């Protein structure tokens, strides 16, 4: 029998999970959530027109409310539409937007509520522990998250005096009153990078946000193969970094220098007469691995990132820049247009199951 929460009155937290073809991960996510304790909560799964077993899995958990995302308005992203549908039905004082591929550690829901209240914040976002299994996950994620930690320093994001704002859409806890005051996801309906846009709206309103790495609260496996990884980061990277072309070039130079330093003696053996020739390359490679430590992965993945992940990161940056420049970004069967291209609608390529809203 599946455990579930008991609500005796108005829930303190409404957990809202947008789910589009998430049959692989949704059961683990819901199992980790229904087992939470220490706070009254409700769970709303918004089935975003899935064509797999997503809805059936969600409905197998007693106490979990399952609703269908409404028709996708022109210009909206699918996720913004789904979470807006869930928020409209939520009764909690706080809203937790979390993804279907997350797993929540025991007691994390109550602990997050305590943390946000003790810090006087209106919004709390966790960057989950990232689980990597395949080669390209292990090589690429340390580089991506190291650069994200540099661009969006958690200490600066959490500093009310800093203009830097960010959030991770895999875990956003926000006070309902604040969410409504800034217009919710409806105010950022066209934003592909909805988590950062929501954080900016909260911070620009003068309210405090908290952002930190939270392996003690939640973990996730974002992508399960190269295709998903490539498509996902192509959607996001050009929006996350202000100068993706320059960052790609810089990453390639930092990556290539150690290899060039070591290859010269092989091509021109008469040039090198002293062991110290290799010192600059060794130092740069060591520096590359040290810079990846801010991504919170183990040493083996830092080495993989320095050896193989940096050129892959550069490739994904350029791929993302090109996709956005050409006005078409694909994600989960939908093609999105840049926000400033109002003449181009969103196109949904996913077949609509019989008898379901489209």
DSSP assignment of 150-219, as one string?
HHT-HHHHT-TTS------TTEEEEEHHHHHHTTGGGGGTT-SSHHHHHHHHHHHTT--EEEEE-TTTEE
Residue 345, pLDDT score: 39
Q: Are residues 175 and 95 in the same domain?
A: yes
Which range of residues forms the domain containing residue 306? 244-344
Q: Are residues 279 and 204 in the same domain?
A: no
Q: Are residues 276 and 182 in the same domain?
A: no
Is residue 287, in this structure, part of any structural domain at all? Answer: yes
95: β partners: 14, 174
Is residue 153, in this structure, part of any structural domain at all? Answer: no
Q: Final residue of a domain: which of 224, 254, 271? A: 224
Residue 119, pLDDT score: 97
| Strand extents, DSSP E, the chain | 13-19, 41-47, 64-68, 94-98, 102-104, 123-127, 129-130, 171-175, 209-213, 218-220, 329-331, 334-336, 347-348
Q: What is the rounded average pLDDT of the residues 12-27?
A: 97
Q: Are residues 206 and 322 in the same domain?
A: no
Is residue 218, in this structure, part of any structural domain at all? Answer: yes
Q: Are residues 306 and 199 in the same domain?
A: no
* Mean pLDDT score of the chain: 90
Residue 331, pLDDT score: 86
- As a whole number of angstroms, the distance between CA 184 and CA 77 comes to 14
Is 76 in a helix, a strand, or coil?
coil
Residue 351, pLDDT score: 45
User: 261-320: per-residue pLDDT in tens?
Assistant: 877 766 666 665 565 667 888 899 999 999 999 999 999 999 999 999 999 999 999 999
Domain count of the fold of the chain? 2
Q: Are residues 198 and 299 in the same domain?
A: no
User: 134-174: per-residue pLDDT in tens?
Assistant: 999 999 999 999 999 999 999 999 999 999 999 999 999 99
Q: Are residues 80 and 175 in the same domain?
A: yes
User: 64-84: per-residue pLDDT in tens?
Assistant: 999 999 899 998 999 999 999
CATH of the domain at 33: 3.90.550.10
13: β partners: 41, 94
How many other CB atoms are found less than 10 A from the CB of residue 345? 15
Q: Are residues 272 and 337 in the same domain?
A: yes
Residue 278, pLDDT score: 72
Q: Are residues 103 and 59 in the same domain?
A: yes
Is residue 149, in this structure, part of any structural domain at all? Answer: no
Q: Are residues 191 and 333 in the same domain?
A: no
Q: Are residues 198 and 111 in the same domain?
A: yes
Q: Are residues 196 and 299 in the same domain?
A: no
Q: How many helices (H) and strands (E) does the chain have?
A: 13, 13
Contact 321, 245 (CB under 8 A): yes
Best CA proximity match to 143, nearest among 317, 315, 310: 310
């Amino acid at each position: 029998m599946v455990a579930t929460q008991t609500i005796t009155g108005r829930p303190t937290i409404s957990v809202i999970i947008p789910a589009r073809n998430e049959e692989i991960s949704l059961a683990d996510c819901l199992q980790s959530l229904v087992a939470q304790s220490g706070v009254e909560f409700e769970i709303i799964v918004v089935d975003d027109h899935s064509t797999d077993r997503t809805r059936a899995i969600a409905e197998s958990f007693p106490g979990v409310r399952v609703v269908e995302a409404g028709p996708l308005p022109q210009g909206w992203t699918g996720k913004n539409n789904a979470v807006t549908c869930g928020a409209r039905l939520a009764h909690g004082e706080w809203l937790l937007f979390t993804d279907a591929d997350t797993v929540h550690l025991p007691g994390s829901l109550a602990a997050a509520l305590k943390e946000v209240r003790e810090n006087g914040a209106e919004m709390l976002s966790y960057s989950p522990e990232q689980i990597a299994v395949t080669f390209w996950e292990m090589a690429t994620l340390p580089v991506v998250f190291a650069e994200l930690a540099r661009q969006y320093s958690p200490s600066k994001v959490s500093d009310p005096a800093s203009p830097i704002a960010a959030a991770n859409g895999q875990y956003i806890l926000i006070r309902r009153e604040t969410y409504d005051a800034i217009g919710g996801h409806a105010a950022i309906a066209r934003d592909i990078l909805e988590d950062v846009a929501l954080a900016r709206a909260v911070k620009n309103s003068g309210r405090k946000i908290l952002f930190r790495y939270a392996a003690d609260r939640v973990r996730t496996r974002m992508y399960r193969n190269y295709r998903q990884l490539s498509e996902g980061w192509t959607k996001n990277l050009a929006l996350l970094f202000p100068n993706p072309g320059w960052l790609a070039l810089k990453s390639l130079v930092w990556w290539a220098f150690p290899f060039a330093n070591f290859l010269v003696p092989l091509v021109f053996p008469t040039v090198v007469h002293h062991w110290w020739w290799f010192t600059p390359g060794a130092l740069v490679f060591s520096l590359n691995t040290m810079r990846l430590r801010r991504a919170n992965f183990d040493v083996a993945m830092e080495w993989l990132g320095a050896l193989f992940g940096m050129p892959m990161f550069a490739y994904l940056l350029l791929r993302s820049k090109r996709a956005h420049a050409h006005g078409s970004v694909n994600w989960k069967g939908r093609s999105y247009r840049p926000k400033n291209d109002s003449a181009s609608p969103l196109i949904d390529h996913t077949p609509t199951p019989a008898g379901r809203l489209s």
